[in-house]
Amino acid sequence: MELIKVAVVFFVILAVLNRRLPLYAGMLAGTAVTLALFAIPPAAFAAAAAKALTGWDTWDVVLAMYVISVLQVSLDHRRHLENAQRAMAGLFHDQRLNAALASVFIGTMPAAPAVTICGRIIDNMAGDHLTPAEKAACASFFRHIPEGFLPTFSIILIVTSLSGVPMASFVAVMLPMAAVLVAIGFAVYLRRIPRSVPERAAGKAESLRLLLRSLWTIAAIIAVILIFGLPASLATALVTAVNFRTDRFSPSEVRRTLVRGFDWKITVGMISIFVFKEVLVATGVIDRLPDYFARLPIPTFLTLALLFFFGTLVGSSTAAGTAFTPLAFAALPGGASLLVLLVGFSWGASQLSPTHLCMAVACQDFGVPMTAFIRKTILPVLIFLVVITGYYLLLTALGL
C-alpha cells in the first residue's frame, strides 16, 4: 500500500512538471501529497524541512549550481566550449565521439550543475538532428557515466567502505560497464548525427594545446576537489575567480557574468527537492523496502538489485547505499561482482528519478517536460540493466 502511495506522489510530480510549471511547483505539490497520504504530523514536517533548509548538503548544491552557471557563462563568453569542440575534432575526427567524451570528462566533476555545460556541448554538436528532449537526455546520460565508478562520488566511497570491497577491485570490474554505457549512449542518441569532421582540422599537437586552454578550468576543479578535498562549490568558485583573471575579464564583464549566472527559479527548485526528499525519508518507506522485496519469488541477487533500484528511485543513491549495502552482503556473499550489480541498478534508477537534481537542471536548461526526458532515457537505462545483469552472472560463473 505504501509503494502505491509513493507511486501516486511521483505521478503528481510528473503531472505538474509536464504542464511546464517550474520545478519548485512540482516538488511542492509532491510534498503536499506526501504529507496528506502518509498523514505526517506538522511537527515531523517542520523537522524534515528544517533539516533540509539548514543542512550543508542543500546549500552546497545551491552554491555549486550558481558558481558552475557563472563558469559556464564565462566559458561561453570567451568561446572556450566552442574551441574545445574544435580541438577534439582535431584529436578524434568525429564530432559525436568528441561530444560524448567531453561530457564524460566534465561528468567527473561531482556537481549536478555540470550537466548544463554538457548540455551546451551536446546542443552545439547535435543541431537539429536531436529533439530538445533527446539532447537533455543525452547530456545527462553521458555526464553521469563517471558517477558509476569514480571515487569522487559519495555513493562509491560509501558502498566500497561498507562492503569491504577494495576500491581498486571495484573500479577495475566496473570499467567495462562504463565502456558499455558509452556504447549504449552512442547507439541510442548519437548514431543519427553526421560525423561532420571539419575539412581542415588542426593537427593533434595544436588541438591538444587548444583543448587544454579551453577546458583547463574543469580539470583544475576536479584536481582541487581530489587533492584538497574541498566542496565542489568552493573549488569551482576559486577556479572561476582565477579564470576571470587569466581571461582578462573587465569589472563590468565580471558583474554581468555574475548576474547572468543566477536563476531564482532553479535555486528555489533545488531547495524544494531537498525538502521533498527529507519529507519522503520521514515517511519511513525506505526503511521498509527490504520487507517488501523479500517476499518476491525471484533470485536473491535480483531482489537485492531491485532493492537498490527502488531505494534510489524513492530516496537517493547515497541513502540506498548506506541503508542496504550491509544487508546485501550479509544476505549474499559476494565481492566486486555483486557490488557492481548493485551500483549499476542504483545508477539506472538515479537517471529516472524525478528527485534527481541533474534531471531537473537538464529539463530546465532545454525547456522540456520531465516526462519527455524520462521517455528518452528509459530505453538506454533498460538496456544497461539487462547487460549488467548478464555481466554479473558471467562474473559469478567464472568465480570472480
- Rounded to a whole number of angstroms, the distance between the first and last alpha carbons of the chain is 39
Task: Give the pLDDT confidence score for residue 47 in this predicted structure.
Answer: 93
Alpha-carbon span 329 to 159, nearest angstrom: 10
Task: Give the pLDDT confidence score for residue 259 in this predicted structure.
Answer: 92
In a domain, residue 205? The reply is: yes
Alpha-carbon span 100 to 392, nearest angstrom: 26
Task: Give the pLDDT confidence score for residue 201 in this predicted structure.
Answer: 56
In a domain, residue 158? The reply is: no
In a domain, residue 253? The reply is: yes
**How do the pLDDT tens digits run along the chain, 400 residues long?**
777 888 888 888 888 877 777 778 888 998 999 999 999 999 999 999 999 899 887 887 788 778 878 887 888 788 787 777 777 777 777 778 878 888 888 877 666 667 888 888 888 888 888 999 999 999 999 999 988 887 667 788 788 888 888 888 888 899 999 999 999 999 999 988 887 655 555 677 787 888 788 878 888 887 887 788 777 788 889 999 999 999 999 999 999 999 988 888 878 887 888 898 889 888 888 777 777 777 778 888 999 999 899 888 877 787 788 778 888 888 887 788 999 999 999 999 999 988 787 888 888 888 888 889 999 999 999 999 999 999 999 999 887 7
Task: Give the pLDDT confidence score for residue 381 in this predicted structure.
Answer: 96
Task: Give the pLDDT confidence score for residue 398 in this predicted structure.
Answer: 86
Task: Give the pLDDT confidence score for residue 112 in this predicted structure.
Answer: 64
Task: Give the pLDDT confidence score for residue 295 in this predicted structure.
Answer: 78
| 8 A C-beta contact, residue 284 and residue 75 | no
Q: How many domains does the chain have?
A: 1
Alpha-carbon span 222 to 109, nearest angstrom: 6
Task: Give the pLDDT confidence score for residue 111 in this predicted structure.
Answer: 65
Q: Minimal CA–CA distance to 185: which of 387, 393, 364?
A: 387
**Sequence-distant (≥ 6) Cβ neighbours of residue 51 within 8 angstroms:** 278
No. of H helices and E strands in the chain?
20, 0
Say how many C-beta atoms besides its own lie within 10 A of residue 241's C-beta. Answer: 12
In a domain, residue 214? The reply is: yes
In a domain, residue 79? The reply is: yes
Range of the domain at 77: 57-151+175-265
In a domain, residue 215? The reply is: yes
pTM of the model: 0.78
DSSP 3-state of 282: helix
Task: Give the pLDDT confidence score for residue 13 in this predicted structure.
Answer: 84
Grid cell of 331 as nine digits: 544476505
Q: 321-336 burial by CB neighbour count: b if 16+ within 10 A, else e?
A: bbbbbeebbebeebbb
Task: Give the pLDDT confidence score for residue 198 in this predicted structure.
Answer: 53
In a domain, residue 249? The reply is: yes
In a domain, residue 223? The reply is: yes
Task: Give the pLDDT confidence score for residue 373 in this predicted structure.
Answer: 92
